[in-house]
């Protein structure tokens, strides 16, 4: 599902480069691939950057037209992301409930593994990127166990890389869970940004090679 909003995606990429959340060089991914770029959402680590990030997510979600009732942020990265998006929507006039999970169940206080609003209705899962889809699968199982419906996933960057088979990791999540994945930006948006930037031109060949080697060809043709 291609939900690509060019101006929003380009603004987001520029924002990430400025904060050095998006860096260029040589980085080893979880899959063992040597990537010419690295996206580190952990560097959205102050109030201002988190506020802006939440607004980028909220705008992307709003423009997708997806129908949802609440947000869920899987531990740990999803927790501040979901909170920042809930705040962004509140500023838009929509007061959304949100919840997150603990890694381990708590046997005192409110107990359990879910913190925040009760999981009910249509739940939108929030994450930074999708690699193997493990976090999404666990989130879907948790949401369903509470009698709610996982209706989609919202991520910051879709790397458009191959998953276990011929599909991309994002496409696998969409197919396996029968729900859409919304991204603020995709690898094709990053390439378009590099192509227009004299300062980043030196990185273009490496990113293009990486795209050809590790990304899904059919995906690339429909991404623009």
The pLDDT profile of the chain, 224 residues, written as one tens digit per residue, is 444 445 899 999 999 999 999 999 999 987 788 999 999 999 999 999 999 999 999 999 999 999 999 999 999 999 999 999 999 999 999 999 999 998 776 554 555 689 999 999 999 999 999 987 888 999 999 999 999 999 999 999 999 999 888 899 999 999 999 999 999 999 999 999 999 999 999 999 999 999 999 998 644 444 43
Q: Mind telling me the catalytic residues?
A: 106, 108
Across the strands, what pairs with 157?
Answer: 185
Q: Determine the Cα–Cα distance for residues 197 and 182; give it in Å rounded to an integer.
A: 26
In Å, how far from its chain's centre is CA 121? 21
What global pTM score does this model have? 0.90
Architecture of domain 6-223: 3-Layer(aba) Sandwich (3.40)
What Å distances lie between residue 66 and 126, 152, 217, CA to CA?
13, 8, 26
Q: Fill in the DSSP letter of residue 167.
A: S
């Amino acid at each position: 599902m291609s939900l690509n909003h060019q101006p929003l995606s380009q603004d987001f990429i520029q924002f990430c480069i400025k904060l050095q959340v998006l860096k260029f060089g040589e980085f080893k991914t979880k899959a063992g691939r040597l990537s010419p770029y690295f996206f580190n959402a952990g560097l959205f680590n102050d109030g201002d950057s988190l506020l802006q990030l939440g607004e980028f997510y909220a705008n992307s979600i709003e423009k997708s037209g997806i129908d949802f009732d609440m947000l869920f942020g899987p531990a740990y990265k999803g927790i501040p992301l979901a909170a920042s998006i809930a705040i962004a929507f509140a500023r838009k006039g929509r007061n959304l409930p949100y919840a997150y999970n603990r890694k381990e169940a708590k046997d005192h206080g409110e107990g359990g593994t879910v913190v925040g609003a009760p999981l009910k209705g249509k739940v939108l899962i929030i994450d930074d990127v999708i690699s193997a889809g493990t976090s999404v699968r666990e989130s879907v199982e948790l949401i369903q166990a509470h009698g709610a419906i996982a209706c989609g996933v919202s991520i910051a960057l879709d790397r458009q890389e191959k998953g276990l088979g011929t599909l991309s990791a994002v496409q696998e999540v969409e197919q396996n869970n029968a729900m859409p994945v919304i991204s603020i930006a995709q690898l094709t948006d990053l390439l378009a940004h590099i192509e227009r930037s004299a300062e980043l031109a030196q990185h273009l060949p490496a990113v293009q090679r990486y795209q050809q080697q590790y990304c899904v060809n059919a995906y690339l043709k429909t991404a623009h």
